Amino acid sequence: MTTLPTRCAPLALALLLAVTPASWAQSLPADEEGARARLDASPRHGEWTRYDAGEGDMVRAWVTYPERNDAAPVVIVIHEIFGLTDWIRGVADQLSADGFIAVAPDLLSGQGPGGGGTESMDQQQAVAAIRTLDRADVNRRLRAAARYGTSLPAASDRVGAVGYCWGGSSSFLFAIDHAELDAAVVYYGGSPEEGYERIEAPVLGLYGGNDNRVNATIPQAERALVALGKTFRPHIFEGAGHGFLRAQSGQEGANARATAEAWPLTVEFFREHLEDRMEQR
């Protein structure tokens, strides 16, 4: 896969994106508008499931599988404040295209009308429900997702997490909560206020340059993790806004450029830390 170096000038990167064939676009997640069509056309196996997060708490999840001949590492995909949408399912499918089993739990399971989840709410209801979730319950469900994923017959015992917006903050917090996590990726999520000493996993942070509400929290994470000798790799993409991976047409091309740089970094990071020194695919 072609990787776009961060040193590329914006004009050169824009020209490259303009002339690259459709296969390049297929190596990136679809944006919000294109997610459902990409899912419908995917050759990979995806399925709905429910896993037990303890005491009969059944969490609905979307699981996708890569096409490979060996055990695949697992990535937990943590949704945005909008819940488990088609776009998040599309991100999971792209992770499987890149070689990972992806488990995307609906952390709103049981919170909607009639005990439903995201599928039972409109967007504003989902946002309101997310704000009521207890962090301990979120982490419990994420730990159960990791156990479920690595218990699959096709899975290895390596597990990472990636999250977006609210899910980005949740990925960082999950790294604090779950010492057995092997890698965490944070897309435009705020940094924790404390607990860095409990993080064992390396952390990759990917941020839009025009998102200072979130970016103002990066230095505290960097100071803490560097002082502790832990791995934190923050990247800020000039001109990109919050949610750039979902809204790739926004910010006059900056979101598309950020996506083209951030996704290869994500895949490389997970391969580095989850493939257990196996040959890069």
Percentage of the chain modeled with pLDDT above 90? 88
**What DSSP letter does each residue of 51-114 carry, written as one string?**
EE-STT-EEEEEEE----SSPEEEEEEE-BTTBS-HHHHHHHHHHHHTT-EEEEE-TTTT-SGG
Query: Confidence band (pLDDT; 50, 70, 90) for 257?
Result: very high
Q: Which pLDDT belongs to residue 55?
A: 87
Q: Per-residue pLDDT for 7 more than 90? A: no
Which amino acid appears at position 265 of this protein? L
What mean pLDDT do residues 181-202 have?
98
Whether the model clears a pTM of 0.85, i.e. scores above it, the answer is yes
Q: How many CA atoms lie within 13 A of 227 on its CB side?
A: 8
Q: Which pLDDT belongs to residue 26?
A: 58
∠ CA 243-108-141, nearest 5°, is: 100
What mean pLDDT do residues 70-77 have?
98
DSSP 197: G
Query: Confidence band (pLDDT; 50, 70, 90) for 21?
Result: very low
User: What domains appear along the chain, each with residue ranges and CATH number?
Assistant: 46-274 (3.40.50.1820)
Cβ pair 270, 75 in contact under 8 A: yes
pLDDT digits (tens, 9 = 90+) for 198-239: 999 999 999 999 999 999 999 999 999 999 999 999 999 999
Q: Which pLDDT belongs to residue 248?
A: 98
Q: How many CA atoms lie within 13 A of 273 on its CB side?
A: 22
Beta bridge partners of 106: none
